[in-house]
Amino acid sequence: MSHPFDLKGRAALVTGSTAGIGRGIADTLAAAGANVVLHGKEDDKEAQDALRACRSHGVRASLLTGDLAGTSQLLAEQICRQALESEPGLDLLVNHAGGHQGEGAFEEISAELLEQTLRINVTFPWLLAQQFARHWMRSGVRGRMVFTGSVNGRLAEPDSAAYDTAKGAVEMMVRTLCVALAPHGIRVNGFAPGIVHAPRTVWLKQQPDRAAWIRGHIPDGRIPDAVDLGATVVYLLSDAAEFVNGHMLVVDGGITALQLPSPFATSPEQTP
């Protein structure tokens, strides 16, 4: 434990890691010494930029591509196999890929949209974790997994019923996989971000009044950048968290600690 956050000698697959929070996670894992297998929908400029950023830390970095929305057992097997071909000693899995489809009112949500939301946020991470668990159990690898949840798994949001349900399921999945896999030496945790500056939240810069309203719901009034969350995942995958298991670590700046913000506040300094 002389260097408890050091990931040298380890290798990680991070799904959804060519942009946003996923890219920040991959880059921070590489900075901590881990070789990384990135995953994105396509091999575009964004993906190549992410690869170069990881390699700049002196580690190996490779890329897998494919849309995970068409979830199937075969796709999970393929992603697992390709990741292990790139990094045979891979012992870290970050199930980050997910998504919010833009839903509208609960009574208007179609079965297709609900199923699509559950597939990308719950079903595929489950199937991919199962593939790696099987491989690690056969190989005697004490693997480590992290799932990306959300404060939406604890706090409901208007017009977000399917996504909130899916992220609530992710939190329970972390617990149940901990119970299933801990006897095999495999550790499973998750982290739940709040609002973050990322490609999907560009409106934070485009709509300053709405961003100010969001900051009024955060005790210290700050919204993090995507890269700021990577260190949380390094911790959960590192030896420093050896006895952290089945836990969803909320990383929201205190959103879930604040009962009701002042209706007039846009920042802590402006609270009447």
User: Catalytic residue at 163?
Assistant: yes
Q: What are phi and psi of 194, to 5 degrees?
A: -95, -140
Q: Are strands 61-65 and 187-193 parallel, antiparallel or unpaired?
A: unpaired
- Is the dihedral angle over the CA atoms 98, 104, 106, 111 positive or is it negative? negative
Q: Which of 132, 147, 163, 235 is catalytic?
A: 163
Q: Is 5 within 8 Å of 234 (Cβ atoms)?
A: yes
Q: Is 73 within 8 Å of 131 (Cβ atoms)?
A: no
Q: Say how far apart CA 178 and CA 90 lie, in whole Å.
A: 19
Q: Is 168 within 8 Å of 136 (Cβ atoms)?
A: no
Helix (H, G, I), strand (E, B) or coil at 205: helix
Give the active site residues: 163
